[in-house]
A = this chain, B = another copy of it.
């Protein structure tokens, strides 16, 4: 699934044009990115939650030289799926 599929989903669900749907998707993405940039956690009941956590792993490796690299302390965005996703995710495969 790509961004266009989400746009199509909105089109099917509503009666908006493709351009309008795309605008909505981008607005949501922008809102999400803005919230995550602000270190806010995003919590959607029944779906999942995004949390910005500090990276604690301070080691990397350059395979070309096999030397260790000190990883700058940054952040990670972690997504934890909610109850509904937990139910559907482990479906038969």
Give A10-43 as 1s and 0s: 1 = Cβ < 8 Å from B's Cβ atoms.
1001100000100111011111110111011111
| Size bin of chain A's contact surface | 35 or more
User: Known: A48-B77, A89-B77. Contact between A28 and B25, CB under 8 A?
Assistant: yes
Closest residue of B by beta carbon distance from A50:
B79
Describe A's contact surface by its main secondary structure.
mixed
Q: Does A75 interact with chain B (Cβ within 8 Å)?
A: yes
* B89–A81 CB distance below 8 A: no
Residues of B within 8 A of A20 (CB): 14
Please judge, given known A-B contacts A10-B24, A44-B2, whether A91 and B37 are in contact too, CB under 8 Å: yes
Alpha-carbon distance between A25 and B89 when the two chains are bound, in angstroms = 20
- Residue numbers of A with Cβ under 8 A of B are 1-3, 5-6, 9-10, 13-14, 20, 23-25, 27-33, 35-37, 39-48, 50, 52, 54-55, 72, 74-79, 81, 84-85, 88-91, 93
